[in-house]
Amino acid sequence: MTNVMTNIKTVLLGGLIAVGFAAQGEPAQAAETRTLTVAGGCFWCVEADFEKVKGVSEVVSGYTGGTTDNPTYKQVTGGNTGHYEAVQIMYDPEVVTRPQLLHMFLRSVDPLDAGGQFCDRGDSYRTAIFADGAAAEDAQQAVAAAEKDLGQDIVTPILPEQTFYEAEDYHQNYYKSDETRFTRFGIRTYAEAYKLYRDACQRDARVRQIWGEAAPFAGQ
């Protein structure tokens, strides 16, 4: 009888240990990926900036805020659709928060310019934050903080979210593409053309002029 009871206890103990290990081995449920939509002038530049941020899994270039369905780059930059060049930033809120991203965004653009950004002029290159509900409240707080830091009014509007259309394939990851084409800078890889464009447009110089050491990406 003693041996039987010992065997039963051993089996029960083994089962409890196995259950314990199984519970410890279950992976914690990952936080749901969230999306923030912003317009900051040339979407190549905004994509390049925010893909450097820890916790950001992907940045997609596209168009939003207009009235034309499935607009093309030519239509949008022509100024007839009402769309902004914009990006959707996909991020893990347990690693980087929406307020942190909004803080970085406003300090990576010229939020004092209502007519475009840097050398890119026209409605499609204006800045904006697209947000509703709690996201809009975060955006309002971020704009207020930026205005306090600069001592000037921010012209970047907070607009309701609208349909986001992904831009053409060649715009995605343009800043790091090794595809070679004839560009405005001659025959170059897209990555080379992007760097020459960004330098010529003096984006980083202007951002540093406005934000100084608070600029998160200028010069990287």
Rounded to 10 degrees, the C-alpha dihedral 156/159/162/164 comes to: 20
Domain boundaries, the chain: 34-170
Q: Which ranges constitute the DSSP H helices of 28-125? A: 43-50, 73-78, 98-106
Q: At what angle are helices 133-150 and 98-106 packed, to 10 degrees? A: 40
Task: Kindly report, residue by residue over 4-60, the tens digit of the pLDDT.
Answer: 444 434 433 444 334 343 445 445 555 699 999 999 999 999 999 999 999 999 999
> Per CATH, the architecture of 34-170 is what?
2-Layer Sandwich (3.30)
Residue type, 212: G
Q: Quick one: what percent of the chain has pLDDT higher than 70?
A: 85
pLDDT tens digits along 98-120:
999 999 999 999 999 999 999 99
Predicted TM-score (pTM) of this structure: 0.85
Rounded Cα distance between 119 and 47, Å, is 18
**Integer Cα distance of 125 and 170 in angstroms:** 19
Locate 26 and state its tokens.
């279950």
92 pLDDT above the threshold of 80: yes
In the prediction, which pLDDT does 218 show?
Answer: 79
> What is the mean pLDDT of the segment spanning 129-135?
98
Indicate the pairing of strand 84-91 with strand 56-64. Answer: antiparallel
Active site residues: 42
What token pair was written down for 50? 């925010």
What does the pLDDT average to over 92-103? 98
Whole-angstrom Cα distance, residue 163 to residue 63? Answer: 8
Query: Dihedral sign, CA of 53, 55, 60, 62?
Result: negative
